[in-house]
Structure 1
Amino acid sequence: MIRVRIVEIAAAEIGVREATGNNDGERVEAYLAYTGLSKGHAWCAAFISWCYGQAGLTEPCNPWSPALFPNARTYCRSNACAHSKIMIKPADVFGIYSHSANRINHVGLVRGIAGKYLLTIEGNVENKVLSKRRHLATVYALANWITHD
C-alpha cells in the first residue's frame, strides 16, 4: 500500500510549474525546503524525497540525485537496467546518467511499466512535474527505497 500512496502523492503534483523557470515557485520551493535547500536549485531529487516524506517515510531525503542510489538500495546499474523489468515496482526511483556531468543528474519515480518503457512521474522536467514514458535503455540505475513490499 505504501507504494500506491507514494505514486498517488506524486501524481497529484503533476502540472506543478516553476514560477519563472528558475527553479522557483511556492510548490517547487516546498520540495527544495524539505531537503534543506532554498529556491534556485535543481529539484528533481528533492521532489522524490518530498513525495516519500508525504507518505510518512524519512528516506530518501536528499536533494542530490546520485545520493538516491546507494549500493544497499540500488538493484541495477548501467546496461543491466534494460533487462530487470521483472524487479521494477511502482515508487522505485530511476536515475538518468549524464556523460557531461559524469554522474546521475536526473531522477524520477516509477509509476508503472509498459513493455520496455517506464511510466514515470518526474520533477524539474520542462520546469514542471510531469508524467513521461522512458525507454529502459535510457535508465542508468534503479533503486528500491521501500523496506517492506
Structure 2
Amino acid sequence: MTVAWCAAFVSWCFGQAGYTQPKTAWSPALFPKGRFRKEPLPGMIMGIYFPSMRRIAHRGIVESLHGDFIVCIEGNTNSDGSRNGDGVYRRVRHKRSIANFSEW
C-alpha cells in the first residue's frame, strides 16, 4: 500500500528549519483560511486541488517565482508530476495550476 507523504514532507522541512508548525500529514490542514495568500512568495506552501478527491491533495514549498511560473520543492512526486511519486523533486508549475498558497 502506498501512502501519500507530500504533506509530511512539507512539515518535516519546516521542522528542519526550526519551525514547530505546520506539523501534519493531512494536506487540507496546511491550508486553514487564516493562512491563505493570493500571491505566492518563496517559503509559502502551495496546494493543488484534485476534483476527483474534492480537496487539495498535493502540496509543496514555493522556492522561486518566474513570471507566471513557480518553482516548487515537492515530496511524493516524480518527473511526470504524479502525486504518488518516488521522491523529492524540483517542479516548475504554472500559477494557474495551483489552487492555494498558505503562509506559515
- Aligned AA for 1:74? F
Q: For structure 2, list consecutive stretches of 5 or more residues without a partner in the other structure.
A: 79-85
- Aligned AA for 1:142? F
Aligned residues: 97
Q: How does 1:80-95 map to 2 (within 5 A)?
A: 84=39, 88-95=40-47
Residues 1:130 and 2:62 are matched in the alignment: no
Deviation at 1:41, TM superposition (A): 2.1
Q: For structure 1, list consecutive stretches of 5 or more residues without a partner in the other structure.
A: 1-21, 23-39, 77-83
Percent identical residues: 43
Measure the CA separation in 1 of the matches of 2:17 and 2:96. Answer: 30
Structure (1/2) with the larger helix percentage: 1
- Aligned AA for 2:95? L
Structure (1/2) with the larger strand percentage: 2
- Secondary structure of the 1:66 match is helix
Deviation at 1:90, TM superposition (A): 1.0
TM-score between the two structures when normalised by the length of structure 2: 0.89
Q: How does 1:45-84 map to 2 (within 5 A)?
A: 45-76=7-38, 84=39
- Aligned AA for 1:134? R
TM-score between the two structures when normalised by the length of structure 1: 0.63
- Aligned AA for 2:90? S
Measure the CA separation in 2 of the matches of 1:89 and 1:138. Answer: 16
Deviation at 1:72, TM superposition (A): 1.2
- RMSD of the TM alignment (CA)? 1.1
- Which residue number in structure 2 is paired with residue 116 of structure 1? 68
- Which residue number in structure 2 is paired with residue 142 of structure 1? 101
- Which residue number in structure 1 is paired with residue 5 of structure 2? 43
Measure the CA separation in 1 of the matches of 2:100 and 2:10. Answer: 15
Measure the CA separation in 1 of the matches of 2:15 and 2:28. Answer: 18
Greater Rg over alpha carbons, structure? 1
State the 4+ residue runs in structure 1 displaced beyond 2 angstroms.
none
- Aligned AA for 1:128? G
